[in-house]
Structure 1
Amino acid sequence: MSKKLSIIELGNPILRRKAEPVNNIQEQSIQKLIDDLLETVVDANGVGIAAPQVAQSYRVFIVASRPNLRYPNAPLMEPTAMINPRIIDCSDEMVKGWEGCLSIPGIRGLVPRHRSIKVAYTDRDGNLIHQELTEFVARIFQHEYDHFEGLVFLDRVESTLDIATEQEYQNLMFNKL
């Protein structure tokens, strides 16, 4: 049975550690971690979550784009567990977009990311998957991948002028002050 996990926040040293690759995807603890991450990301209204965010320093994350309170315009996709993912190629074109993080509540930042990326990852059944991701889903992948390298979105913001509180972000996006 899956359970909602506690999400660690900025300042916890695990968020700054390089994550370890998963050697045995079928191991019960890894399969349970995937189930728990799936439940946790939905419960937290996230569009992605990486294992380091729940204090598990493994290269496992969930991409779960869907419209929700935090990202009302997100495209709908089936939540996908990605194990030992890697970026194989990326577009030269960079696009700035607003990001938040479940481990940095209350803050948003304008972050430059590659518009499209080609990725490879292993799914929870052990199949090697190759995919091209674009726009918002590519942004989620890059954001979650950074967690494996000990980075958070604030490390990629180009200027402190590109940081806002959640409330001001909401005002900017939806009330058009």
Structure 2
Amino acid sequence: MSTPLKPQIAVPRSNDRVVNGVKYNRSGSGRSKFEMLAWLYMRLSGILLLVLVFGHLIANLIVPEGGVHAIDFGFVGGKWANPFWQVWDLALLWLAMLHGANGMRTIIDDYAERDGARFWLKLALFLATAFVILLGTLVIFTFEPCPTGADAELLASFCPAP
């Protein structure tokens, strides 16, 4: 009498695993390296985002006299006149958008069952992310609170008279 075949089961924590007779190698593939880097990015950007968000909230809501009621066109114009705040808000925008897009990419990979749906959802996600990052970057660096030739009554209080 012959002995029945035993299923092939890899040693726990080994780089090889067998599922339904198919052997998968988890080491050395480019996809696993990308996923590891994406996982690492989520952790590091999350920590940095905490600092950036709380700094943003303190600078905009606690420091100015009047709290949230002090935020207006002149407040933003005065803040973005300083390159430090431009870089701060740019870093906040880029990190938050890429952090959120990476999280959504993971959700799409987990829940979109068909390859076609997964492709189109990811394409829409990447296009929306690129659009928001591009538009936000342009707004931060091209914002002009004191346009030349504008009516003096419409200009912010810190703008020089034309």
Q: Which has the higher contact order (CA 8 A, sep 6+)?
A: 1
More strand by share: 1
Larger Cα-atom Rg: 2
TM-score, normalised by the number of residues in structure 2: 0.28
Name the TM-score, length of structure 1 as normaliser. Answer: 0.26
Judging by fraction of residues, say which structure has more helix: 2
